[in-house]
Amino acid sequence: MSKIYKIAHIHVGDKKNKGDVAIVLAVQELLRNKFPRCQIMDFPVSLLKSGTAKDAQKINQADFVVIGGGGIFYSYFLPYNQEFIKAIIKPIVIFGAGYIKEVDAPELKTEAAKSIAFLASHAKFVGVRDNNTKKFLANYGVEAKKIAVIGDPAALLSEKKPTKLKIKKTGKILKIGLNLNYSGWLGFGKWHDDILNAYREVAEYFQKEYGGRDAKGVEIYYLKHHLGENKIYPELKIKGLKVVDLKPSEQKYVYGQLDFVVGMMLHVGVMAFGAGTPEISVAYDLRNHSFADFIGHPELVVDLNELKSGELLKRVKKVFTKRQKYVIIFKLKKEYINKQQTNFLERVKKSL
């Protein structure tokens, strides 16, 4: 009988953010597939900054430690406590982690950046979600050949058909999804009018061009990703807007029934990609660009300073006409991510 592994999983625990929940679920699904019947112990990422010797003792009860995925390389969680990290004596695996840098945010302080590099150097295996995260680590001295770019685990999250919402892609009614970032990013106020006007322009275009005389040929869904969005999506003032607020696996299923998505939150884009639906991201963070770069399609991101000129609608029109091409591309890239992550975990297993 195969060994039953104990795994300590250190991760973000924000239950208000579907992306954070989706990443945790996806990582743990992958771990259970590779380590059948494993026991997973959850620990908050805040321990990397403020953990004690007693916390390290609890973590060391596991066979190995998984840190991530998600944007754990974020100023809010930094600097990491190097003494705490050294107190973890079991093998550390960084899995699907990403570097976050919001628009207009200052550069990380040297102490914070070096603490990330210390963690990565101390880890036995390092798997990051995109090329920019690898470059960031390498710039601070982490050996490049140690860093594997394995993609975002949330792309592989299993999908579950919801019971509370009946939705199916039929080809008869065009289904468009929208999402805004109102999760605490302080820069939203600066771009408030530009963002909302650009989104309304996109919604009005689809309603006019594809809705028909009674506008019933188009359904527009607001894809709620964070509790804070309750304060902003009503300001879109889009007629007939349907709000989708489901568990991550069900939300991802819904993305797969849509024809097109315009979003801001990173994991709206990642889960839409994983569900095979083309998505344009409005970039409030380096990570929007990082994901698009990783899948090889930078044209799927529009910067905030381009919104006034109508660039969002221009890009939407261009990508929408080629959406079937993107469905095929996404399927192949998702298979690649699955292979990368499976092989990465296989290397981990063989080392134990």
Q: Do 144 and 66 reside in the same domain of the chain?
A: yes
Q: In this structure, are residues 261 and 268 in contact, taking their beta carbons and an 8 Å threshold?
A: yes
Q: In this structure, are residues 232 and 183 in contact, taking their beta carbons and an 8 Å threshold?
A: no
Residue 164 lies in a domain: no
Q: Do 148 and 188 reside in the same domain of the chain?
A: no
What is the CB-side half-sphere exposure of residue 4 using CA atoms within 13 A? 4
Residue 139 lies in a domain: yes
Instruction: Give the model confidence (pLDDT) of 237-257 as tens digits.
Output: 998 999 999 999 999 999 999
Q: Do 340 and 317 reside in the same domain of the chain?
A: no
- State phi, psi for 145 to the nearest 5 degrees: -70, -15
List, in order, residues 6 or more apart from 205 with CB less than 8 Å away. Answer: 313, 316, 317
Angle in degrees, CA 159, 161, 167, rounded to 5:
120
Rounded CA separation 173/236 (Å): 21
Residue 343 lies in a domain: yes
Rounded CA separation 310/201 (Å): 8
Q: Do 117 and 181 reside in the same domain of the chain?
A: no
- pLDDT of 1: 63
Q: How does DSSP assign 217-268, residue by residue?
A: TEEEEEE--BGGGGGTGGGG--TT-EEE---HHHHHHHHHT-SEEEE-SHHH
Residue 307 lies in a domain: yes
Rounded CA separation 89/146 (Å): 19
Angle in degrees, CA 27, 323, 246, rounded to 5:
40
Block residue for tokens 């296989």: 346
Q: Do 19 and 73 reside in the same domain of the chain?
A: yes
Q: Do 341 and 278 reside in the same domain of the chain?
A: no
Q: Do 143 and 213 reside in the same domain of the chain?
A: no
Nearest to 91 by CA among 62, 117, 116, 114: 62
Q: How does DSSP assign 89-103, residue by residue?
A: -SPEEEEEEEE--BT
Q: Do 150 and 187 reside in the same domain of the chain?
A: no
Residue 148 lies in a domain: yes
Residues of the chain with pLDDT under 70: 1
Q: Do 193 and 270 reside in the same domain of the chain?
A: yes
The total domain count for the chain is 2
- State phi, psi for 202 to the nearest 5 degrees: -65, -45
**pTM for this one?**
0.95
Residue 163 lies in a domain: no
Residue 215 lies in a domain: yes
- pLDDT of 167: 85
Length of the chain: 352
- Cα-based distances in Å from 283 to 4, 77, 161: 42, 22, 29
Q: Do 190 and 310 reside in the same domain of the chain?
A: yes
- pLDDT of 170: 78
Domain holding 141: CATH number? Answer: 3.40.50.2000
Q: Do 114 and 139 reside in the same domain of the chain?
A: yes
How many other β-carbons are positioned within 10 Å of the β-carbon of residue 323? 12
Whether a cis peptide bond, with omega within 30° of 0, leads into 248 is no
Q: Do 133 and 227 reside in the same domain of the chain?
A: no
* Residue-number span of the structural domain to which 94 is assigned: 6-156+336-351
Residue 331 lies in a domain: no
List, in order, residues 6 or more apart from 335 with CB less than 8 Å away. Answer: none
Q: In this structure, are residues 265 and 181 in contact, taking their beta carbons and an 8 Å threshold?
A: yes
